Amino acid sequence: MGKHDKDRDKDRKRMKQSQRDAKATDKAGAAGHHAAKAHGQPARVDSSLPSSRDELLALHAAARRRRAAAPYNTPEHHAAIDEIGRIEVRIADVEQATTPPRG
């Protein structure tokens, strides 16, 4: 056994202990699942779109067809994606504003 072997053994034991501590912390939830939080900007409702759900669904179907017909990653494709998003936000706004049926 060399002069510095004892120091190396102590370092190894310290390293193993710190690794065990890190694993215990991970299992305790420090790096585990977290509840989803809002991020980015809140959605803006495009009030220029119709307020009828049926009309919005027709527009949504047409925008999906345009997206499917456009070559991938082109300005037309991105425009159709943006339009679909605006329509979906408007549909959600219309559905939220309606009162649920009673009974």
Supply the pTM of this predicted model. Answer: 0.59
Instruction: Give, rounded to a whole angstrom, the gap between the first and last alpha carbons of the chain.
Output: 85
Q: What is the pLDDT of residue 2?
A: 65
pLDDT at 84 over 90: yes
The 3-state DSSP class for residue 12 equals helix
Q: What percent of the chain has pLDDT over 70?
A: 63
User: Distance of CA 65 to CAs 61, 80, 82, 90, Å?
Assistant: 6, 9, 13, 19
Rounded to whole angstroms, how far apart are CA atoms 7 and 4? Answer: 5
**Non-local CB neighbours of 76 within 8 Å, separated by 6+ positions:** 66, 70
Q: What is the DSSP letter of 100?
A: P
Cα(86)–Cα(65) distance, integer angstroms: 16
pLDDT at 31 over 90: no
For residue 10, pLDDT beyond 60:
yes
pLDDT of residue 46: 92
The pLDDT, as a whole number, for residue 97 is 86
Higher pLDDT, 90 or 43: 90
